């Protein structure tokens, strides 16, 4: 289940003058995969349209709940901040943020925020850019910086999701190994090393310390992984004792 930070109130995706209804549907799908639902359309060229429904793929509810506005000012009137997406540099005073920093800033704000995307061919007009408080840049190949509209929405939606749900930064299907699990593994490794005559406790060898250092460089060991290693050690010890 997707959760949203209490500081991030209804993050909004605004598409200005989209010309291809398929991009509207694909944007709705991108939003739903990241838990966003507030889609606003500013003067869409062709909408509603079956192409939008086709591309939404189980995100038709986002389309059905979307709102159409005559202009950008109307679409963001109740927002505390609007973030304009553009790959083109602009000479103006609005703050310029990389997309990850923009997502972090949006989460910090107390109130509705909007991420504003321009037309597929021309992008945002100067007037639309000036209606926003931030200019957002998605880092890309300097030789080809243009993203498809729905792809750009997906990047922003992902960054918002990850910023407002930090616990999802690493998907974990298994339980993490506890300190007790790790200490058990270290002890078992040392006993196995002694039993195999690989390690002599009286030798002043730094093997136990080096084993700890080795496993400390393995991030996020799972309990099942520790159990696999200890099962292997048990099997080897039993084989040697025969």
The structural domains of the chain, with segments of one domain joined by +, span: 12-168, 179-241
3-state secondary structure of 208: helix
Best CA proximity match to 158, nearest among 144, 146, 168: 168
State the pLDDT at residue 92: 54
Q: How far apart are CA 206 and CA 55, in angstroms?
A: 60
- How confident is the model over 182-214, as pLDDT tens digits? 999 999 999 999 999 999 999 989 999 999 989
DSSP string spanning 178-207? PHHHHHHHHHHHHHHHHHTTS--GGGT--H
CB 230 within 8 A of CB 188: yes
Domain boundaries 12-168, CATH class: alpha beta
For residues 55 and 216, the model is more confident at 55
Given a cut of 50, is residue 159 above it in pLDDT? Answer: yes
Q: DSSP state, 167?
A: G
Q: Which residues contact 11 (CB under 8 A, 6 or more apart)?
A: 4, 36, 38, 106, 112, 113, 114, 115, 160
- How confident is the model over 10-42, as pLDDT tens digits? 799 999 999 999 999 999 999 999 999 999 999
φ, ψ dihedrals at 11, nearest 5°: -60, 135
As given in the structure block, the two tokens for residue 95 are 């703050």
Q: Which residues contact 185 (CB under 8 A, 6 or more apart)?
A: 177, 215, 226, 229, 230
As given in the structure block, the two tokens for residue 100 are 């990850």
Using pLDDT thresholds of 50, 70 and 90, give the confidence band for residue 1.
very low
State the pLDDT at residue 3: 45
State the pLDDT at residue 170: 53
Best CA proximity match to 190, nearest among 219, 240, 233: 233
- How confident is the model over 70-104, as pLDDT tens digits? 999 999 999 989 999 987 665 554 688 999 999 99
Q: What is the mean pLDDT of the chain?
A: 88
Mean pLDDT across 151-168: 88
As given in the structure block, the two tokens for residue 51 are 């192409």
Which numeric CATH code is attached to 179-241?
1.10.8.590
Kindly list the distances between the CA atom of residue 157 and the CA atoms of 26, 27, 39, 116, 202, in Å, as whole numbers in the listed order: 12, 10, 12, 12, 58
């Amino acid at each position: 289940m997707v959760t949203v930070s209490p500081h991030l109130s209804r993050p909004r995706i605004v598409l200005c003058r989209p010309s291809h209804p398929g991009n509207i549907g694909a944007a709705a799908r991108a939003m739903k995969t990241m838990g966003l639902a507030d889609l606003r359309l500013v003067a869409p060229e062709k909408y509603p349209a079956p192409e939008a429904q086709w591309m939404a793929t189980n995100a038709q509810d986002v389309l059905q709940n979307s709102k159409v506005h005559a202009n950008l000012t109307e679409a963001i009137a109740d927002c505390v901040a609007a973030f304009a997406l553009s790959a083109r540099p602009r000479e103006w005073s609005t703050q310029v943020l990389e997309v990850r920093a923009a997502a972090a800033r949006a989460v910090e704000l107390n109130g509705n925020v909007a991420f504003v995307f321009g037309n597929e061919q021309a992008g945002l007009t100067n007037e639309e850019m000036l209606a926003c408080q931030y200019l957002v840049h998605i880092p890309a190949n300097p030789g080809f910086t243009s993203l498809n509209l729905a792809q750009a929405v997906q990047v922003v939606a992902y960054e918002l999701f990850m910023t407002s749900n930090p616990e999802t930064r690493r998907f974990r299907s298994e339980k993490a190994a506890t300190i007790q699990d790790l200490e058990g593994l270290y002890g078992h490794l040392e006993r196995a090393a002694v039993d195999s005559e690989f390690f002599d406790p009286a030798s002043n060898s730094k093997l136990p310390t080096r084993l700890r250092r080795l496993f400390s460089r393995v991030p996020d060991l799972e309990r099942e992984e520790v159990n696999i290693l200890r099962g292997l050690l048990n099997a080897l010890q039993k084989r040697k004792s025969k």
